[in-house]
Amino acid sequence: MPGPIRLNPPLTDEDVMKLRAGDQVLITGILYTGRDAAHKRLVDLIDSGEPLPMDLTGQIIYFVGPSPSRPGQPIGSAGPTTSYRMDAYSPRLIERGLKGMIGKGFRSREVVDSMVKHKAVYMAAVGGAAALISRKITSCEIVAYEDLGPEAIRKLEVTDFPAIVVNDCEGNDLYEQGIEEYRIA
Amino acid sequence: MGARIHNLNIKLWIREGRENDAFRFPRSEKPLTGFSRQITNQNNAMREIESGEITEAVRKMSIKAAYMLGHDVMEALEENLKKEISPTGREVLRQLVENARIAEEGLFPMCQDTGFAVIFVELGQDVHVAGGDLNQAIHEGVRQGYSEGFLRKSVCDPFTRKNTGDNTPAVIHIKIIPGDRIKLTLAGKGGGSENMSRVMMLKPSDGKTGIMDYVVQRVSESGPNPCPPTIIGVGIGGTFEKAALLAKEALLRPLGEPSPDPELAAMEEEILERINRLGIGPGGLGGKTTSMAVHVKMHPCHIASLPIAVNINCHAHRHREMIL
């Protein structure tokens, strides 16, 4: 297996177009966090024509609701949550320039189509490898919606955050390909 | 003599609790009257257990479950790491083993979703809970454990989605059994795998084949969502709600321990083999380790029905038990 690809957001169309389903990546830089409740609020803002709490252009949203941080730690455990709950909202954010999403599990047809159309990518972090992932996060600040607790939008600084490309911008899907490869009929 | 009877009581108590044999006697054909007589409290005295002890036990279990992966699960992960043929699958399993070791150090829970606290209480009928409400004592233990352990509070109002703030209320299942002890079992149930679980009312004509097909189909459709490699709890029979409870109880059995019923044990093996041919693999990224175990529990059902429940658990298999 070739070595991992290094990504430093914000991502350009060219960065995204180089990625293929199955690529292992290591991300260093900024990730924004968000789950369903925060996504709903972002889309409500877009619907009412109001500005978003952060500029989404080229950014990556990590679907995570971390556990509380202990004193001296930037964050608690921070593994990915299941992505399909964001499917209703993701295409709206991709239209606004979002280039990457990190979560776990299947995405809908609409999200996959939107990623192809607008050049975006969906990556999986290992579900349940939350303690390991936390060690890659060097700082964390709340950007918006503190009232949502673990679901608030946070800005994370990460170093060598490990993820695997599931859906690339050409419509390939690692979940389908991987399962196909190892299925015994 | 007193001490011996006491020890015997504990042993029988554990056995009674774990296998829940009383509910399966129509198949075992061994009525449990012998057991019952031996564990009858001979002087009819009630044993008193302070509600504070229950709170303390639940507090400890909440924290320990979130940081310490059980040896049975750790062994299963390591075993599957040796056998997995997919390089990506091996990488995922390697990360999960390392993750469990980091969690054991006590700074980060093994998963950020530290679960809904589901508490099974097997309450000896010769126990008197003193000093407060048993249910409140359990909720308080969850409240303290999730706060002191820096665990995520994941319980909210279904409509407003407003977080209750302390991971309460717990879901509590109480069963009254013979004896003078309380066995508490905590399952910190993650949302991702719970969402992939189902109850289905099959037709009696669907039979064993229909049951096995349904479980395999459920795991197949869930794909990567429940964080494979998973543990699959299957409840067969009873009523609509009984099947669901059986499936959850089935998850409590240690990994690698087959059903004591040879027919169910064979079924567990066959379903597991079929699941691991699906190709879903660790993280759902392809491979042969989709599930680490299938546990089946069964109960007689209505002549018109064949209920089946599939409760999926992720590899963050948070289960702890204590006997008071």
Tokens of B139: 């909720």
**Rounded to an integer, what is the distance from CA B238 to the centroid of its chain?**
18
pLDDT for B5 equals: 41
pLDDT for A57 equals: 96
Q: Which of A37, A76, A179 sits opposite B161 (nearest CB)?
A: A37
Q: How far is CA A121 from CA A81, A90, B131, in A?
A: 17, 11, 57
Question: Can you spell out the DSSP letters for B273-304?
Answer: HHHTTS---GGGSSSS-SEEEEEEEEEEE-TT
CA dist A99 and B309 (Å) reads: 40
Tokens of B88: 């990506």
Collect all residues of chain A within an 8 Å Cβ-Cβ radius of residue B110. Answer: 77, 128, 130-131
Radius of gyration (C-alpha) of chain B in whole angstroms? 20
Token pair 């989404």 is at which residue?
Answer: A56
Q: Which CB contacts under 8 angstroms, 24+ apart, belong to A136-144?
A: A136/A160, A136/A161, A136/A162, A137/A74, A137/A75, A137/A78, A137/A161, A138/A74, A139/A74, A140/A66, A140/A69, A140/A74, A140/A75, A143/A32, A143/A53, A143/A54, A144/A38, A144/A41, A144/A53, A144/A54
* Residue B266, min C-alpha distance to chain A (Å): 21
* B35-80 pLDDT, tens digit each: 333 445 556 689 999 999 999 999 999 999 999 999 999 999 999 9
CB-based contact (8 Å) between B64 and chain A?
no
* B269-291 pLDDT, tens digit each: 999 999 999 999 999 999 999 99
Tokens of B254: 């240690």
pLDDT for B17 equals: 35
Collect all residues of chain B within an 8 Å Cβ-Cβ radius of residue A179. Answer: 223, 278-281, 284, 286
Question: Once rounded to an integer, what is the mean pLDDT over residues B193-202?
Answer: 97
Token pair 């939008």 is at which residue?
Answer: A153
Of the residues A32, A34, A39, A120, only one is catalytic, namely: A39
**What CATH code is carried by the domain that includes residue A18?**
3.20.130.10
Residue A104 sits in which domain range? 5-182
pLDDT for A114 equals: 97
A118 is a catalytic site residue: no
CA dist A153 and A65 (Å) reads: 9
Tokens of A98: 């979002």
ipTM: 0.91
The parts of chain A modelled with pLDDT lower than 50 are none
Number of structural domains found in chain A: 1
Tokens of B9: 């009581």
CA dist B180 and B178 (Å) reads: 7
